Chains A and B, each alone.
Chain A
Amino acid sequence: MTEHAPKTAALIAYTSGLLSPEGRGRVDRHLATCEVCRHELAAIQAYDSLIEEVQSSQLPKIDFESMELPLQREAEAISRQMVAQKKRRSALPYVALAIAAAVGLALFAWPRLQPDEAPVAEPAPVEAPEPEEAAPAPVESPTLTPVVTLAAGEARRVEGDQTVDLAVGDALDEGATLATGDDGELHVRLSDGTGVRLASATRLSLERTREDGIRLALEGGSVAQQVAPLSNGSTFVVLCAGYEVEVTGTRFVVSYLDEVVGVDLSEGSLVVRDPDGGETALRAPARWRSRGGIDGEPDAPTVRAAASPRVSPTPVTLADERLVRWSVDGIEVETEGALSLGLAPGEHTVRGWDLRGRVYTATLPVGEAPVALETDAMTPQAPRVRAGHLEEAQIRQVMGRAMRPFRQCYERWSRNHSGIVRGRLRITVGMMGDVERVQVLGVDDDSLSSCIRNHGMRLNFPSPGGSVSFEAPLTLTPSR
């Protein structure tokens, strides 16, 4: 074997086809006699094919959907901090200016206050000039971005004389006016969890969508709301034909049909203020009309399965007693209870959450006939595993104790076989320190690897507080 360092750069050029025919011939001749360079070239080619394999392999599924909302909340918190810092910083120059002006005026006044003048009682306090906008303006409350979660039939955003068709996932600006046609339905969710559903032939303006207050103006039609619990000082108001419906965490429908304002309250409480200043307090369940006043039990706000000539959705009913929150194809469509909605024919991914936050999933095939999700069709999803931590010394200690049973496996195997066993153990330890998985790598004999695996599964580690995987070398040699 020729003892020399491999010509890596030349070999890379050779593999990439960058060498001239003469250069290629020289490398070919060299390779015929040099084991080191042959080995290096094989490694280069193995690396190239491995890189291709890694590039073409799919990454593990990352739950971006559940990452979005917390990320947006964090971003809003950062925004608030940044706005506050900016205000503080912008006030600083004015403060400095005020101090400088005060010092300047004091210096200017000083010679005039010297002796031989009539005694002066007290110099008048120097007032700093009032800087413009010295006081920081009140910080605008962060927006709760409304996002379309369901758009069926004719569902549009109105911009002056023009209209823009809405699609699921569209983010809406504060002040947007939304309209649905006779066959339309539109669901909008705000980033605090509040849901707003526009029934057909409805027109609604999102006048204000801030953390400290939400104000919607209903011009016609019917709108159902599921209001998230409001924080201190924040309000949720629906304006309609001079009436004002103010809510404190509730589920209700406001409608304006045939010039009658109606409120159907199915959960919580609210106050209706009329244009003359009169107030009517309602506690669920209650129904109120601008003509006729309070009136018995309300109709439950249900989502109508819209029949659109463009989308042709199929009526679908989802119900599972365990679940309190639903999502269809990654879009949250309702917060609890049974859900009726229209879905386009095809396969849809349905997810649901129970009270403890466990996720259940199902694939729902939808054809042209109405579909109801079968009872217990939702299967629980494995919970997300958090990373734990084990010190190397802790691993060594437990693995040291485990060598005795592993050796017994080896000695049993040695009755019919001979040789040294070299391999690796890949062990996954669960949150409480119990072993969840053992892989015996590099040992081909099934009986031996199965014996080692069985003993490995019985190991107990200190609790790592999450999932931990590690690899440990395994060498078993005949005893002397």
Chain B
Amino acid sequence: MVSSTFSSLTLATVDAKRAARRSMDPDAALIERAKQGDTSAFRQLFRRHQGTVSRIVYRMIGPSPDVEDVVQDVFLNVYRSLPSFRGDSKFSTWLYRLATNVTRMHLRRGRSRPKFTDAEVPETPRPGGPPPETPDLQVERAERVRALYRLLDDLSDKKREVLVLHDLEGVPAKEIAEALEIPVLTVRTRLFYARKQLYAALANEPSLEGVMHALMDKLPGKPKRQRKDSSEASAGR
């Protein structure tokens, strides 16, 4: 008797929390309509979240002609899974989960292929960003961005997901934990080791050699003189 009262109280609290979360979620009305099969509501959800999803997908799989297909896949999965969305978490959190799951499946399917990088990498800064750079600087910047995508490709899926969501998308660790259904501590651990792996890789990345030297020169203490193989240094580079 006691336990049933307790469980009904717990359920009532959960329901109340869910209802409160739903009422705060700006997507709540659209989600309810889409759940009933209203495809125009779904279209509006697509318009509201297409930017976030495409950014996550692009940053997870890197420059690839598959980005559009994966984004489309994510939204089809959203539509299929909407009936199971109960409002326990924010819609955006749930969307992160679906986007990472679909992207992970896509990456697994393509894992056996050799590593490809698409030739087209965005080189223009976002509108409203810093003033335009000279073409040389743009090319250098684009090469650095490409280098980061190459290095991201070497991270395990688990590390990459956390790093992309946290460092590139700015999603708080708690929300990532909720989206990926892992403890917050695991998020922080993965993030730390992902960054550590990238620090080591960046230090050996040829396109960042100049940046690294400039940064080291600015650090406190005397920089030690770099030993260079004279034959390599003079060779066509």
User: Is the C-beta of A439 less than 8 angstroms from some C-beta in chain B?
Assistant: yes
Is B124 touching A43 in the complex (CB atoms < 8 A)?
Answer: no
From B6-14, B172-180, B196-204, the one touching the partner chain is B196-204
Given A56-B126, A421-B237 in contact, is the A47-B199 Cβ separation under 8 Å? yes
| B171-215 near A? 1/0 per residue, CB < 8 Å | 000000000000000000000100110111011001010011001
Interface size on A, residues (CB 8 A): 83
Q: Is B118 an interface residue (CB 8 A)?
A: yes
Shortest Cβ distance from residue B136 to the other chain A in the assembled complex, whole angstroms? 13
Contacts of B198 in A (CB 8 A): 43, 47
Shortest A191–chain B CB gap in Å is 7
Q: How long is the Cα–Cα vector from A470 to B114 in the complex, in angstroms?
A: 8
A147 touches B40 (CB 8 A): yes
Which of B124, B130, B219, B232 is within 8 Å of A422, CB to CB? B232
Contact of B68 among A67, A417, A470 (CB under 8 A): A67
Which of B38, B199, B203, B208 gathers the greatest number of chain A CB atoms within 10 Å?
A: B199
**CB contact list, A403-447 vs B, under 8 A:** 413, 417-423, 426, 428, 437, 439, 442-445
Contact: B168 with A55, CB < 8 Å? Answer: yes
B43 engages A60 (CB within 8 Å): no
Most buried by A among B72, B116, B167, B221: B116
Contacting pair B114 A47 (CB below 8 A): no
**Distance (Å) between the CB of A367 and the closest chain B CB?**
25
Set A43, A59, A395, A471: member contacting B58, Cβ < 8 A: A59
Interface residues on B, range: 35 or more
Contact of B39 among A51, A53, A59, A145 (CB under 8 A): A145
What's the nearest-Cβ distance from chain B to residue A209, in Å?
A: 11
From A265-273, A341-349, A461-469, give the one contacting chain B.
A461-469
Cβ-based interface call for B236 (8 A): yes
The residue in chain B whose Cβ has the minimal distance to the Cβ of A464 is B116
What's the nearest-Cβ distance from chain A to residue B147, in Å?
8
Q: Which of B20-28, B75-83, B88-96 contacts A (4 or more CB under 8 A)?
A: B75-83
User: Nearest chain-B residue to A471 (Cβ)?
Assistant: B117
B129 on the interface (CB 8 Å rule)?
Answer: yes
Q: How far is the CB of B222 from chain A (nearest CB, A)?
A: 7
Residue in A12, A42, A56, A439 whose CB lies within 8 Å of B219: A42
A79 touches B235 (CB 8 A): no
Across the interface, which residues of A come within 8 angstroms of B206, CB to CB?
Answer: 442
Closest to A392 in B: B114
Q: Is the CB of A57 within 8 A of B122?
A: yes
Whether A419 and B55, one on each chain, are in contact in the complex, defined by CB atoms closer than 8 angstroms, is no
CB neighbours (8 Å) of A428 from chain B are 119
Picked from B80, B117, B211, the residue with its CB within 8 Å of the CB of A426 is B117
Tally the A-B contacts, defined by beta carbons under 8 Å: 213
B235 touches A51 (CB 8 A): no
Q: Looking at the assembled complex, report how far the CB atom of A474 sits from the nearest CB atom of chain B, in whole angstroms.
A: 11
Give Cα A437–Cα B119 distance, bound, in whole angstroms: 8
B141 contacts A by Cβ under 8 Å: yes
List residues of chain A with CB within 8 A of the CB of B123: 57
Nearest CB in chain B to that of A145: its residue: B40
> Are B236 and A445 touching (Cβ within 8 A)?
yes
Chain B: minimal CB distance from A54 (Å): 6
Given contacts A41-B219, A469-B119, A143 and B125 within 8 Å (CB-CB): no
CA distance in complex: A421, B39 (Å): 58
Q: Closest chain B residue to A172 by CB distance?
A: B40
Q: Please state if B54 and A444 are interface contacts (CB–CB under 8 Å).
A: no
* Contact A28 B39, beta carbon cutoff 8 Å: no
Is B5 part of the contact surface with A, judged by Cβ < 8 Å?
no
| 49-104 of chain A: CB within 8 A of chain B | 49-51, 53-60, 62-64, 67-68, 70-72, 74-76, 78-79, 82-83
Given contacts A54-B148, A78-B79, contact A44 B37 (CB under 8 A): no
Interface string of B36-47 (1 = CB under 8 A from A): 011111111011
Q: Is the pair A79, B37 in contact by a Cβ cutoff of 8 Å? A: yes
> Taking the complex as formed, is B67 at the interface, i.e. its CB lies under 8 A from any CB of chain A?
yes
List which B79-132 residues lie within 8 A (CB) of chain A.
Answer: 79-80, 83, 113-127, 129-130
Residues in B with CB closer than 8 Å to A71 are 43, 46, 72, 75-76
B203 with A442: CB separation less than 8 A: no
Report the Cα distance A49→B234, complex, angstroms. Answer: 30
- Find A443's partner among B37, B148, B236 (CB 8 Å cutoff): B236
Most buried by A among B44, B64, B76: B76
The reply on A46 being an interface residue by CB < 8 A is yes
Neighbour of B235 across the interface among A62, A64, A420, CB < 8 A: A420
* Interface: B135 (CB within 8 A): no
Report Cα–Cα, A283/B215, bound state, in Å.
79
Query: A31 an interface residue at 8 Å Cβ cutoff?
Result: yes
CB neighbours (8 Å) of A44 from chain B are 195, 199
Residue contact B83 to A58, C-beta cutoff 8 Å: no
Q: A384 to B69: give the CA distance in the assembly, Å.
A: 12
Q: Is the C-beta of B16 less than 8 angstroms from some C-beta in chain A?
A: no
What 17 additional pairs, Cβ within 8 angstroms, besides A57-B123, A58-B127, A470-B115? A1-B224, A8-B196, A39-B212, A44-B195, A46-B202, A54-B59, A62-B71, A67-B68, A72-B39, A74-B76, A74-B79, A75-B42, A142-B37, A418-B231, A420-B231, A423-B237, A442-B237
List residues of chain B with CB under 8 Å of any chain A CB. Answer: 37-44, 46-47, 50, 54-55, 58-59, 63-68, 71-72, 75-76, 79-80, 83, 113-127, 129-130, 141, 144-145, 147-148, 167-168, 192, 195-196, 198-200, 202-203, 206, 208, 211-212, 215-216, 219-224, 231-237
Q: Name the 8 nearest CB pairs between A and B, nearest first.
A: A419-B235, A32-B221, A171-B40, A43-B199, A145-B40, A42-B215, A392-B114, A79-B37
Cβ contacts A to B, 6 pairs, < 8 Å: A46-B202, A47-B198, A54-B168, A67-B68, A419-B235, A467-B118
